[in-house]
Amino acid sequence: MALIEARGLGKTYAGKVAVHDLSFDVRPGTVTGFLGPNGSGKSTTMRLMLGLDHGNGGTRFDGLPFTSLREPMRHVGALLEAKPFHPTRKARSHLGMLAVANRIPLSRVDQVLDQLGLAEVARKKPKTFSLGMGQRLGLAAALLGDPHTLILDEPANGLDPQGIQWMRSLLRSLAAEGRSVFVSSHLLSEMALMADELVVIGRGSLIAAGPVADFVKSASHNAVLVRSPQAAELMAILAKRPDVTVARDHEELRITGVDATVIGDLAFEHEIRLHELATQVATLEEAFLEATSGSEEYQAHPTQSAGLG
């Protein structure tokens, strides 16, 4: 079991800030999702954590920086590249090479190849591998030392739906064994199913950190929808309450800042007839887009028709 403590991480490329004063924890026994728009500094942060990039701050794995860990793959397994291997070195040799560097018995190589569904291609060159198989080999390398901590950058890239489901189960089971799993992904629906906690960044700075449920709950998309022939009366009552906002469209009200139970009770007390009372819960995607709004590094703009005809 290992606690990851990242403190004051920072990195600047030629005067441009990539990561700024980023601090967060990853607790054992959890899958912590790492979210941010493209170019927000996720990969840089992971490289900083592992001492691959030089920058400010530091990361401790159970109190030790990565560069002080003996036989590091036994402590931290990392997947940082889409295809982090030589295309003509056989899969088994690739893992064997990493194993000898960490005094891991070669029998473990066959074990992880089997675990990752790569036993049949163990003696094949990865240049023939699909992106998904490459990811599996990268994941096999990360799991080779049976580490207590996993740092995975977009591990679902290239995986088919079955592969994604398999990876979710794998990471959840690894976390259930008490390991710390820190994983970045663009697949928000997948992250919603997989992650217990989130670290969300935008333009290299921390936007939010904490349980997924809390992050989703904080989104303004969470609202109570009410349909009533006495919408105006209910709106007037709710408007008197602090921190409550109400938007009205004829008989429909969209209310934030108060939950459905309270609204139902208020309507009952004031003899207001309700035709519908429903809670609208934001998705992780909606919460993420709201939280990172304006912090995208690269933004697309709609093109206007040039009228070529």
Partner 1 sequence: MRNAFAYELMRIRTIRSTWWLSGLAVVVGVLISSLFALAVGLEFSRTGADDTDGLSAAVVTQLASTGVIPSLVGFLLAMIGIFAWGHEYRHGMIRASLTALNSRSSLWIAKYVVCAAWVAAVALVTMVLSGLVAMIFLQRYTNVFDTQAFGIIGRELVYVVILTWLGMAFTSVTRSQAFALVAVFLWPLLIESLIHGFFLLVPGLRDNEAVLRFLPFGAGTKLLDVFDEGHQVFGDPLSPLGGGIVFATVAVALMLASYLLFEERDA
* Footprint on this chain of partner 1 (rule: CB under 8 A): 47, 50-54, 66-69, 71-73, 76, 78, 80-81, 83-90, 93-94, 96-98, 100-103, 141
Nearer to partner 1, 147 or 258 (CB): 147
- In the complex, minimum distance from the CB of residue 83 to partner 1, in angstroms, rounded to a whole number: 7
Nearer to partner 1, 44 or 292 (CB): 44
- In the complex, minimum distance from the CB of residue 84 to partner 1, in angstroms, rounded to a whole number: 4
175 touches 160 (CB < 8 A): no
CA-closest candidate to residue 221, choices 142, 304, 286: 286
- In the complex, minimum distance from the CB of residue 78 to partner 1, in angstroms, rounded to a whole number: 5
Nearer to partner 1, 76 or 164 (CB): 76
- In the complex, minimum distance from the CB of residue 38 to partner 1, in angstroms, rounded to a whole number: 19
Nearest-angstrom CA–CA distance, 280 and 285: 14
- In the complex, minimum distance from the CB of residue 139 to partner 1, in angstroms, rounded to a whole number: 13
Nearer to partner 1, 101 or 232 (CB): 101
262 to 167, 237, 266, 277, 307: CA distances (angstroms): 41, 12, 6, 11, 54
Strand partners, 34: 184, 199
- In the complex, minimum distance from the CB of residue 19 to partner 1, in angstroms, rounded to a whole number: 12
Neighbours of 201 (CB within 10 A): 26
Q: Say whether 93 sits in a helix, a strand or coil.
A: helix
Nearer to partner 1, 142 or 223 (CB): 142
Q: Going by C-beta distance under 8 Å and a sequence separation of 6 or more, which residues neighbour residue 56?
A: 8, 9, 10, 11, 21
150 touches 171 (CB < 8 A): yes
Nearer to partner 1, 84 or 257 (CB): 84
Q: 271 burial class (0-12, 13-18, 19+ CB within 10 angstroms)? A: exposed
Nearer to partner 1, 8 or 51 (CB): 51
- In the complex, minimum distance from the CB of residue 155 to partner 1, in angstroms, rounded to a whole number: 15
Q: 148 burial class (0-12, 13-18, 19+ CB within 10 angstroms)? A: buried
CA dihedral 158, 140, 147, 21 (to 10 degrees): -30
